[in-house]
Amino acid sequence: MRTRRPARHPAPALAALLLAAALALTGCSGAGEDSAGSGAADRGVAAPQADDKGGAKEAVPGGTGSGARATAPPKLAASHIIRTASLTVRVKDVPKALEQARTGTENAGGYVGNETTTRDAEGRERTQVVLRVPVEKYDEVLAALEGTGKLLDRSAKAEDVTDQVVDVESRIKTQRASVARIRELMDRAGKLSDVVTLEGELSSRQADLEALLARQESLKDRTSLATITLSLSESPAKKEAKEDDDPGFVDALAGGWNAFVTMLRWLAVAFGAVLPFAAVAALIVLLWLRVVRPRLPRRPAPASATTALGPLPTARPAPESTQPRTPGERD
């Protein structure tokens, strides 16, 4: 009689196989979640988390798996600022202060621009110089220049030209693409007239592109280097105070002599101013007496009264009587 072996049930083996597969899938999904979570953390966005019901929780921006916010600040867009300043400083020695300003500017990586030196009526020297320094060293150089002497005046200005820089860059990109299209059309042009027309259009667009590039270079120079206009002037000499302020005899004598000399000088000036007119007047009088007056007609003498019988006798006064008059006589 054949004995019958008991049949083996495949349930335990199948259960073990399913358990191993589940563990493998769990490990893969965990690794995938860790990589996704780390990538999301690098981007500042938390990976979605599963809730108890199997649904995905909404990701919290900048947070971790527990919903906490990230502490890293967001990156700001690069700004382009033109910085200019003007300083007026009074110093004791202008050449020495100017040499210090040059040395400080060159050590900061900048350079010295225009320079003008003048002297006033009292002999004091005045120098104005333009300094170009990197923006990173702007505040440091400005503070050093203020400390060279007595600060009289200061003005600073900051102009944000980020919009202009972005606009110029966009226009340059568009203009370059336009120039490239015109060149492609020239390569495919078959008629001479088309080639001539495209060459004119290409020249015009290249000129616009060069103008945009020059403007971009100017903005880059003005935003990368700050401009400082420095004016240096010498301190006025202090007048020594006199011990005795009361005037004495010598001071009075000197003042009187100065007044006398001043009066003579003014009289000489007045005489010099009147002398030409006096000379002309004397010449006119001399010409009148010597030339004009002798040639004038003279008036005739008055005629005596006459009649047909001849001139009338003129009456003569009666002679006085020499005889004495009596008291009773009349005149």
Tell me what pLDDT residue 128 has. Answer: 92
Inform me whether the pLDDT recorded for 4 exceeds 60: no
- At which residue do the structure tokens 């929780």 appear? 57
Asked if pLDDT for residue 130 goes beyond 90, the answer is: yes
Read off the pLDDT of each residue in 10-35 and give the average, rounded to a whole number: 46
Q: Using pLDDT thresholds of 50, 70 and 90, give the confidence band for residue 69.
A: very low
Q: State in Å, rounded, how far the first CA of the chain is from the last one.
A: 234
Sheet of strand 111-119: strand arrangement: 111-119, 125-134, 225-234, 81-91, 150-160
The pLDDT score that the predictor gives to residue 49 is 43
* Between 57 and 209, residue with greater pLDDT: 209
More confident: 245 or 225 = 225
Average pLDDT, the chain: 74
Instruction: Enter the tokens of residue 144.
Output: 């050093």
pLDDT at residue 192 in the model: 85
Query: Looking at residue 170, what is its pLDDT?
Result: 93
Distances (CA, A) of 63 to 37, 40, 46: 11, 9, 5
* pLDDT value, residue 57: 42
What are the Cα distances from residue 78, in Å, to 75, 81, 91, 191, 201?
9, 10, 39, 48, 35
- pLDDT surpasses 50 at 145: yes
CB-CB contact of 232 with 89 (8 Å): yes
Q: What's residue 28's pLDDT?
A: 44
User: Which of 56-60, 200-204, 217-221, 291-295 has the weakest average pLDDT?
Assistant: 56-60
Question: In the chain, what percentage of residues exceed pLDDT 90?
Answer: 29
What local confidence, expressed as pLDDT, does residue 294 receive? Answer: 79
What pLDDT is stored for residue 155 in this prediction?
A: 92
CA separation for the pair 121, 139 (Å, rounded): 35
Partnered with residue 81 across adjacent β-strands are: 160
Tell me how far apart the alpha carbons of residues 283 and 47 are, in angstroms, rounded to a whole number: 118
pLDDT band at 253 (very low <50, low <70, confident <90, very high): confident
Q: pLDDT band for position 295 (50/70/90)?
A: confident
Give me the pLDDT at residue 175, please. 92
Mean pLDDT of the region 113-119? 88
> Between residues 172 and 300, which one has the greater pLDDT?
172
Confidence (pTM): 0.46
pLDDT band with cut points at 50, 70 and 90 for residue 211: very high
* Greater model confidence, 160 or 12: 160
Q: What is the mean pLDDT of residues 286-313?
A: 68
C-alpha distances out from residue 215 to 39, 131, 135, 162, 168, Å = 41, 22, 19, 13, 8
10-28 mean pLDDT: 48
pLDDT of residue 44: 38
Identify the CA nearest to 115 among candidates 101, 104, 134, 135: 101
Compute the residue count for the chain.
Answer: 331
